[in-house]
Amino acid sequence: MQSVELDLQHAFFPQRFITPGHLQRLAPRLEWARQQVLQDPNRWTPEQPEFDPLFFPWPEQALQEHRRQEGSGVLGQVFQVAQRLRQEVQTVVVLGIGGSYMGAWALLQACRGPFYNLLPPSRRQGPRVFFDGFNVDGQYTASLLEVLSGESDPWGLIVISKSGTTLETAVALRVYLEALQNHARKSGDLKHHLVVITGPQGPLGQLAQRWQAPRLEVPPGIGGRFSVLTPVGLLPAAVLGLNVVALLEGAAAMNRRFMQEPVGRNPVLDYAGVCHLWEQRQGVHIRVMASWTNALEGLGMWYDQLLAESLGKEEQGATPLTAVNTRDLHSRGQQHQQGRRDKLITNLVLTQPPGKLLRVPAWTEDLDGLNYLAGRSYADIMAAAVQGTNQAYAQDLRPTINLRLPELNEFTLGQVFQMLMLSTVVEGKLLGINPYGQPGVQQYKQNMVRILRQAGSGQV
């Protein structure tokens, strides 16, 4: 069993009044929060737009449905649509923003690596996958369209928007649809190239109907940033040839630990508890998610959104920050070691760091003085960097948590996604904040639309 592990060895310092005893004293409140999370799905009704607790039972539900009625359930639909895209196109563009793209983007990075799209088709596990619709950056879009215009083969378009009204994604959809229509005229019908993932309401449903495009649903009761394990993340993952069942099984395994383990052995409750203690007792309100592999930078960014949008309310909530080490030890390391004591660092560490086979060559002349490393692997050097950095922070009573993944695969990633979603909700309960919804984001949207409408009518 490949379980992710939470290592709290350097998370407690009696000198700073945060100890395992404090975590145990928080246990009754954590237990109360756990009960709330367990009961929330029973309290859900479609009439409560800012209450989306159904991400919690979702992994088991989706797996059970798949086992009962293979082919016709949500997973069956995901496999069917992914299979068709994998057979028919060499390139897929995914349009979405926030929770409608960050999970899929994190999965691409984690499981396929940074150069996947550059590989020839024979060495890829599926079509190339690009993302857009997460900004209104004309230069980025123009560059990607230029790449697509050089394609002789048809390409596919997956548009993901729960509301269907998000301006960034909607504008991109018009632009990419136009390009796709021009292409599709050469290569067949649009319905073979477009897939829509949306909520039960909103204009995208009509659009799917109009183009006879397959439509998958963002399940009701699951909010954008909690939707990575629904078709929102699973379809792009399946297009990439990832094992989506293992992703869900990982999440279900984390659910079991969350439901069964006591404080002190429960990764969700312990993580939420330690973060909460440092924030409330010591004013440590910056959460650094430090990935010790480039592959998990996307996961860190996904967590940025999860934490910021869920808990950044009512003038509360910690500030997330993603770092990639050792890269960022050369930019942020100084501040993390000696700056304000306002940071709690979570290290995302691979127990078996990749790069065992890549070794430092020996030179007959030791011109750069590195022969003491000859024959050592990248993995050895990375392990020393993690240990050395944690020691340095601990020596200065700066707290770190290690979240260890035995391997980087779909099963361990499913665990991490679910663990972080659950612990964010538990923290929300401890703070008395509704972790669902993002009412503050409406303000910029309303202003932007007003400004654009005024500009359109010549008022600006």
Catalytic residues: 309, 330, 445
Q: Does 434 help bind ligand PA5 (rule: CB under 6 A)?
A: no
Location of structure tokens 């963002």: 218
Tell me whether residue 31 or residue 304 sits nearer to ligand PA5 (CB atom). 304
Indicate which single residue of 91, 169, 255, 347 sits in contact with ligand PA5 (rule: CB under 6 A). 169
CB nearer to ligand PA5: pick between 119 and 449: 449
Nearer to ligand PA5 by Cβ, of 274 and 318: the residue is 318
Give whole-number Cα distances, 354 to 330, 339, 358, in Å.
21, 31, 9
**Residue 286: how many other CB atoms lie within 10 Å:** 17
Q: Residue for token digits 């010790």?
A: 292
| Cβ nearer to ligand PA5, comparing 164 with 267 | 164
Residue among 384, 393, 390 nearest 402 (CA): 390
- When CB distances to ligand PA5 are compared, the closest residue is 224
Does 97 bind ligand PA5 (CB under 6 A)? Our answer is yes
Residues 6+ apart with CB under 8 A from 310: 225, 317, 424, 425, 428, 433, 435, 436
- Segment 298 to 327, residues that bind ligand PA5, using CB under 6 A: 309
Query: Measured between alpha carbons, how far is residue 56 from residues 118, 128, 251, 255, 421 in Å?
Result: 36, 31, 9, 7, 9
Q: Are 75 and 245 in contact (CB under 8 A)?
A: yes
Only one of the segments 137-145, 157-165, 324-332, 419-427 lies at the binding site for ligand PA5 (rule: CB under 6 A); that segment is 157-165
Cβ atoms of 193 and 89 closer than 8 Å: yes
Contact status: 424 vs ligand PA5 (CB under 6 A):
no
Span 181-240, contacts to ligand PA5 by CB under 6 A: 223-225
Among 77, 91, 109, 166, binds ligand PA5 (CB under 6 A): 166
Q: Are 274 and 8 in contact (CB under 8 A)?
A: yes
Does position 34 bind ligand PA5 by CB under 6 A?
no
- State the nearest-atom distance from the C-beta of 441 to ligand PA5, in Å: 6
Closer to ligand PA5 by Cβ: residue 23 or 204: 204
Binding site for ligand PA5 (CB under 6 A): 97-100, 161-163, 166, 169, 223-225, 309, 438
